[in-house]
Amino acid sequence: MLTFAGAAKADWISQLVRFERNFEAARTPAIGGSAPDDQFRGQGGIDFGFLTRMLRGKKSMAQLRQPVADDSLLPDLHQSELAARDFSPAIESPVLLELARFTTVERGDTFAGILTAQGLAWADINEINADVNEVFRLTKLQAGWPISFRLDATVEPGAPGRLISLHFEDSDNSTVWVERTSVGYTAHRDETVFTSKLLVAEGKIESTFWVDAQALGLPYQVIKKAEQAQQCVVDFKRDISPGDSFRILFDGLIDSNGKVVDADKIHYVSFDTRKGRREVFRFVSEGRASFYDRQARRSCSSSLSLLREPLVRPFRMSSPFNPKRKHPITGKIRPHRGVDFAAPRGTRILAAGDGVVIAKRIHSGGYGKHVIIRHDSTYETLYAHMSRFPKGLRVGSRVKQSDVIGYVGTTGSSTGNHLHYEIKKNGRHIDPLKSTLPRGQKLTGAKKSAFEDEQRAIIARLDQAEALASPTAGGGG
Ligand SMILES: [Zn+2]
């Protein structure tokens, strides 16, 4: 929170105003004369750059906070830290001045406290506070939000400051405004209306994707979403190098100034790299939008799938997973950490998923002849009571899903031919029949044809989409 007192603040403003009045008087011709020299005026009025520079080093200025928001999202908050302008262009009226001020909500700040720090009168603070509360619940004010003020700079020395208007964004697409009227203050909340347009952005990598995409005029949000879409396909550090190119097809959200501010949907992202083209297509399956490669493989999904019943038929489940199983005679808890499948001796046992054999052991009791496969950093499977191992299977062997890794038997603590099958997830046993198991996320059947239709549509849209206008090209819209 800003700490200096209201009166001191108003004094400072008054000094600035008097300084400016003297300056104006010295250079403005008599009433009715010719207009002031334009070189002293910026777009909005008097150029106060010299005052900004002069005051920047002063202690009070150090307490002005810079907004923390992203440049591209809040461009109007990123102008000079102090600007004052003449908003009453008629020469005969007294010069009215306003000061543009920014502050950032900090933890523990109240709205009234923030207004107090701007040197406003108590009566005004109460009114503004009440007005804002009608359009926005002030308890929801969040630390980090920038607030912009326009203050009346013509207040007399010693008098409280006076607000002309203030605004802050309470979400990505709405802004809360307070404005002074002839009868007091009024607050309203404006929803920003975005239009959507199919756009394609094509660029070449000269330094990094982020830098080059920004240079192309893509807003932060769009770059972030494009990167997320590709994060499991492209290694941005190793795969992308200067000379590569990228293409992003998206529904751009365009604000009232014609500026692309975000993407409603990213349809397609491709990178042409030394290692070939890496592309992802957006597709909705079972109500969920994901990105898939040309072969209908979902990006960012585990390629691992595990079988619930890793053996060739015929078999039947003879004993379920039961971590609290009691011994029928002693009554002691003897957990059954796997599932038993009764099957004829010699039935082929299959690797539940791709992986590496990490154990191939023969125990006289317990598991008997058994194999353990590690699939990834999360999953391991164990297959027990085998009659024998296949030839060539070793610790360290790489196996593919459904490779034969053993044959049903009754070695170890076993009363009949069966496979005892366990799955460990992060070191803990899970029920092979009831737990959610990783499934390879490749579209098949009708879903795959639907994806292929969408893929063709996306490729056609790449040619139909309007090219994102480069900010340096001078165009726009
Ligand atoms: Zn068992």
Distance 326 CA to ligand 1 centre (A): 13
Structure tokens that stand for 404 in this block: 């034969």
Distance 367 CA to ligand 1 centre (A): 9
* Residue 312: pLDDT over 60: yes
Q: Which residue has the tokens 């990213």?
A: 266
Q: Look at residue 17 in the predicted model and tell me its pLDDT.
A: 53
* Residue 46: pLDDT over 50: no
Q: Look at residue 303 in the predicted model and tell me its pLDDT.
A: 64
pLDDT tens column, 78-103: 333 333 333 333 333 344 577 888 89
Q: Look at residue 35 in the predicted model and tell me its pLDDT.
A: 35
pLDDT tens column, 200-211: 999 999 999 999
Q: Which amino acid type is present at position 25?
A: A
Structure tokens that stand for 372 in this block: 């353990």
Where does residue 120 rank: exposed (0-12), middle (13-18), buried (19+ CB within 10 A)?
Answer: buried
Distance 352 CA to ligand 1 centre (A): 17
Taking the domain 195-305, which CATH number applies?
3.10.450.350
pLDDT tens column, 229-273: 887 678 787 788 999 999 999 999 888 788 888 898 999 999 999
Q: Give me the residue spans of the domains in the chain.
A: 9-84, 98-191, 195-305, 317-430
CB 128 within 8 A of CB 185: yes
Distance 319 CA to ligand 1 centre (A): 7
Average of per-residue pLDDT across 132-158: 88
- Size (the chain), residues: 477
Task: For residue 209, give the H/E element and its range.
Answer: helix 209-215
- Out of 6-20, 159-173, 430-444, the most confident range is 159-173
Distance 411 CA to ligand 1 centre (A): 12
Distance 346 CA to ligand 1 centre (A): 17
DSSP helix/strand/coil, 451: helix
* Residue 322: pLDDT over 80: yes
Q: Look at residue 30 in the predicted model and tell me its pLDDT.
A: 37
Distance 88 CA to ligand 1 centre (A): 88
Distance 368 CA to ligand 1 centre (A): 11
Which residues have C-beta within 8 Å of that of residue 266, sequence separation ≥ 6?
A: 222, 225, 226, 229, 248, 249, 250, 282
Domains 98-191 and 195-305 agree in fold: yes
Taking the domain 317-430, which CATH number applies?
2.70.70.10
Residues with CB under 5 A from ligand 1 (ion): 340, 420
Distance 59 CA to ligand 1 centre (A): 77
Strands 195-204 and 466-467, by their bridges, are: parallel
Give 289's pLDDT tier (boundaries 50, 70, 90).
confident
Q: Which residue has the tokens 């499948």?
A: 341
* Residue 59: pLDDT over 60: no
Distance 318 CA to ligand 1 centre (A): 9
Distance 366 CA to ligand 1 centre (A): 10
Distance CA 250, CA 268 (A): 7
* Residue 360: pLDDT over 60: yes
Distance 364 CA to ligand 1 centre (A): 16
* Residue 52: pLDDT over 90: no
pLDDT tens column, 363-372: 988 999 999 9
pLDDT tens column, 404-442: 999 999 999 988 999 999 999 999 999 999 888 876 677
Distance 340 CA to ligand 1 centre (A): 5
Distance 419 CA to ligand 1 centre (A): 7
Q: Look at residue 152 in the predicted model and tell me its pLDDT.
A: 86
Distance 440 CA to ligand 1 centre (A): 27
pLDDT tens column, 180-198: 988 889 999 988 778 899 9
Average of per-residue pLDDT across 132-138: 92
Determine what percent of the chain falls in helix, strand and coil, rounding each to the nearest 5.
20, 35, 45
Distance 308 CA to ligand 1 centre (A): 14
Q: Look at residue 472 in the predicted model and tell me its pLDDT.
A: 53
Q: Look at residue 86 in the predicted model and tell me its pLDDT.
A: 33
Distance 388 CA to ligand 1 centre (A): 17
CB 171 within 8 A of CB 439: no
Distance 350 CA to ligand 1 centre (A): 17
Distance 362 CA to ligand 1 centre (A): 16
**What is the maximum span of the chain, computed from C-alpha positions, in angstroms?**
114
CATH ID of 98-191, from 3.40.640.10, 3.10.450.350, 3.90.400.10, 3.40.47.10: 3.10.450.350
Distance 418 CA to ligand 1 centre (A): 8
Which residues have C-beta within 8 Å of that of residue 175, sequence separation ≥ 6?
A: 167, 168, 169, 189, 190, 192
Q: What is the b/e burial string over 78-105, where b = at least 16 CB atoms within 10 angstroms of the residue's CB?
A: beebbbbbbeeeeeeeebbbbbbbbbbb
